[in-house]
Copies of this chain bind each other. A is one copy, B any other.
Amino acid sequence: MPGDTELAASSGLSRSSVRNAIRQLREWGLVRAEPGRGTYVREPRQRIRRRTTERYQWEKDRVLRDEAERRRTGGTEHDTGLTVDDLTFHAEYSQVEADQDMAAAFGLPVGTLLLRRTYWTSSRHETAPLSLSYSYLPYDYVKANTQLLSADHEPWPGGTQHQLFTVGIELDRIEEVVRARPPLPDEAELLDIEPGVAVLDVRKTSYDTTDRVVEVADIVFPGDRTELCFTTTLRRWHR
């Protein structure tokens, strides 16, 4: 795209006005500005459609399969249709104490020890991650399996549901709360979105079969290239 000084000259507007107009294009994710280089029209990016409802059931069914099969594909591949080789995966583990927000989410006291896991998954063709994920598990629930306590075994074949299975936990349901908000500065950088492009922020809460909250995750998606898909199946009236 022509530089803003050039556009200002050719349009007869001031540079500020031109920059203001360009800002609108950026908010729609149509154009990317790279300091020192120029402003570029974005490839009309395919929105990644994340099929949440089916994904979780699929993950659960997969838990009982053997490891070779679990290893073949992960959740993100299931969503995107990409193969394992197309994806870069990054995981980081740490331990934190529950703040007020997390304590309330788990229904546990403030200060409870939590395992905090940070994930990001990227397509090898795009530099920016498809999502950032911050997952929390109460340390006590998972400490019985020491392999769950460090990132050494990531990506874990079968995902979180299988990890929980190894410590005797079966999920009953998953609640997801979807919000839209402007990105924090570091999120904007990690996800490679222009400031002004919103993110989709999903608070995912997993309940086990005893109705206990066993995982809380905050997942952040770039708003300009993500679609979240939910299916509600209704009970029949008569049979």
Residues in B whose Cβ lies below 8 Å from that of A27 = 182, 196
CA gap between A226 and B234 in the complex, in Å:
24
A50 CB, min distance to chain B CBs, angstroms: 9
Contact check, B56 vs A177: say whether CB atoms are below 8 A apart. no
Shortest Cβ distance from residue A8 to the other chain B in the assembled complex, whole angstroms: 16
CB distance from A217 to the nearest CB of B (A): 13
**Is there a chain B Cβ closer than 8 Å to A170's Cβ?**
yes
- Determine the chain B residues whose CB is within 8 A of the CB of A53 once the complex forms: 230, 232
Question: Pick the contact of A223 from B52, B170, B177, B181 — CB < 8 Å?
Answer: B181
Q: Beyond A27-B196, A198-B223, A223-B198, is A179–B47 a contact (Cβ under 8 Å)? A: yes
Q: Within the assembled complex, what's the spacing in Å between the Cα atoms of A198 and B198?
A: 6
Q: Which of B47, B180, B198, B233 contacts A173 (CB 8 A)?
A: B233
Chain B positions within 8 Å of A125 at CB level: none
In-complex Cβ contact of A229 among B47, B175, B228, B237 (8 A): B175
User: Would B209 and A180 count as touching, CB distance under 8 A?
Assistant: no
0/1 string, A160-199, CB within 8 A of B gives 1 = 0000000000111111111111100000000000001011
**How far, in whole Å, are A53 and B196 apart by their CA atoms in the complex?**
30
Residue contacts A-B, CB under 8 angstroms, 6 given = A63-B237, A175-B232, A176-B229, A176-B230, A178-B230, A198-B198
